[in-house]
């Protein structure tokens, strides 16, 4: 999608993204800058949380777009940040980007199948995602993309593929590519659709329940206490926003002491006892009740095993 939508000029060439985006995204941004003969150090703007905070404030993102917008070619964020679990305000960021004349795209790998998305209504230019996270596919699972209909009549450079050719002439086997309008013209395979409202309703219930259970642990450290004092004893805080409207299913648990073996020891204990999360350096374990199949009993089991894991290192 960046090949199609990132078109830097002499005056408008920068890429705006969140700091510490998923490495694949960072590599793509750097590669695109280099491919256009630009220095990534000056072509890429990364927004970081304020000192002592774990997540980005909406006002800081919008202010940066206001300040730098005339030089920004592409604003591109994760829908949900892979490390913290923060759900970015897609609509307001997209609106501000357009006010400054920027293209706005989204990596929705952690958002699809996790939170409600209204990409057309939010006027998103394009979005991409995989399906092996919350849509629960596996190796070889298809990818997905969205392109707003406002671009349907504007030919964008693309890598042509069989499934992107118009159906009316596809089986005539013509040598010349005739794309379907919109996102389907970019596709390499045929996508499936899910029903997010019922999935999201159950997800809100499960993640809120797990959060409540985790915060009841004697090893839980409130964010304010963790920021002000830190902790030398084994424990954890939750760096994902507590507001359900600012997150999906994921809860990111930051383990103390920072830089110690606590996180890795706890992760090994969880895995050995049937609680499957994943680890992300530095010091984070991500737990996400999957609404398609997890239950409240699973959440209770996860919280119980986490407590026992921390007892083993206390």
Mean pLDDT for the stretch of residues 171-185: 78
Cβ-based neighbours of 301, under 8 Å, separated by 6 or more = 274, 275
State the average pLDDT over residues 138-160: 79
pLDDT confidence of residue 180: 84
Query: Please, what sign has the CA dihedral across residues 158, 162, 167, 171?
Result: positive
Report whether pLDDT(148) > 90: yes
CA angle, residues 80, 84, 85, in degrees to nearest 5? 35
- In angstroms, the CA 310 to CA 210 distance is 17
Report domain extents, the chain.
2-186, 196-313
**C-alpha torsion angle, residues 179, 180, 182, 188 (rounded to 10):** -70
- Look at residue 78 and tell me whether its pLDDT is greater than 60: yes
Greatest CA separation for the chain:
70
**Two domains, one topology: 2-186 and 196-313:** no
Which residues pair with residue 77 across a beta bridge? 106
Mean pLDDT across 155-176: 74
What is the per-residue burial (b if ≥16 Cβ within 10 Å, else e) of 42-71?
ebbbebebeeeebbbeeeebbebbeebbeb
Q: Is the pLDDT of residue 194 over 60?
A: no
Task: Tell me which architecture the domain covering 196-313 has in CATH.
Answer: Alpha-Beta Complex (3.90)
pLDDT for the residue numbered 192:
46
Overall fold of domain 2-186: 3.40.640
- pTM for the predicted model, two decimal places: 0.73
Whether a cis peptide bond, with omega within 30° of 0, leads into 54 is: no
Count the neighbouring beta carbons within 10 Å of the beta carbon of residue 222: 11
Q: What is the pLDDT of residue 174?
A: 75
* Per-residue pLDDT tens over the stretch 196-230: 788 899 999 999 999 999 999 999 999 888 876 56
């Amino acid at each position: 999608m960046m090949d199609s939508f990132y078109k830097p000029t002499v005056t408008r060439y920068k890429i705006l993204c969140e700091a510490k985006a998923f490495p694949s995204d960072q590599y793509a941004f750097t590669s695109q800058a280099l491919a256009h003969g630009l220095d990534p150090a000056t072509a890429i703007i990364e927004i970081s949380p304020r000192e002592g905070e774990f997540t980005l404030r909406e006002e800081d993102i919008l202010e940066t777009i206001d300040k730098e917008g005339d030089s920004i070619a592409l604003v591109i964020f994760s829908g949900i940040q892979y490390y913290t679990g923060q759900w970015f305000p897609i609509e307001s960021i997209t609106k501000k980007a357009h006010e400054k004349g920027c293209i706005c795209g989204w990596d929705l790998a952690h958002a699809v199948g996790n939170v409600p998305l209204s990409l057309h209504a939010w006027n998103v230019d394009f979005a991409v995602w995989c399906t092996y996270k919350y849509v629960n596919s596996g190796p070889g699972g298809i990818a997905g993309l969205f392109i707003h209909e406002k671009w349907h009549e504007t030919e964008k450079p693309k890598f042509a593929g069989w499934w992107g050719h118009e159906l009316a002439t596809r089986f005539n086997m013509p040598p010349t590519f005739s794309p379907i309008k919109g996102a389907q013209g970019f596709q390499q395979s045929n996508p499936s659709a899910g029903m997010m409202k019922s999935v999201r309703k159950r997800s809100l219930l499960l993640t809120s329940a797990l959060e409540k259970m985790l915060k009841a642990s004697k090893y839980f450290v409130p964010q304010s206490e963790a920021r002000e004092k830190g902790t030398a004893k084994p424990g954890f805080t939750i760096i994902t926003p507590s507001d359900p409207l600012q997150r999906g299913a994921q809860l990111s648990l930051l383990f103390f002491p920072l830089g110690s073996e606590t996180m890795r020891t706890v992760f090994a204990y969880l895995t050995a006892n049937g609680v499957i999360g994943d680890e992300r350096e530095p010091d984070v374990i991500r737990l996400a009740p999957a609404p398609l199949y997890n239950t409240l009993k699973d959440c209770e089991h996860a919280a119980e095993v986490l407590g026992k894991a921390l007892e083993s290192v206390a």
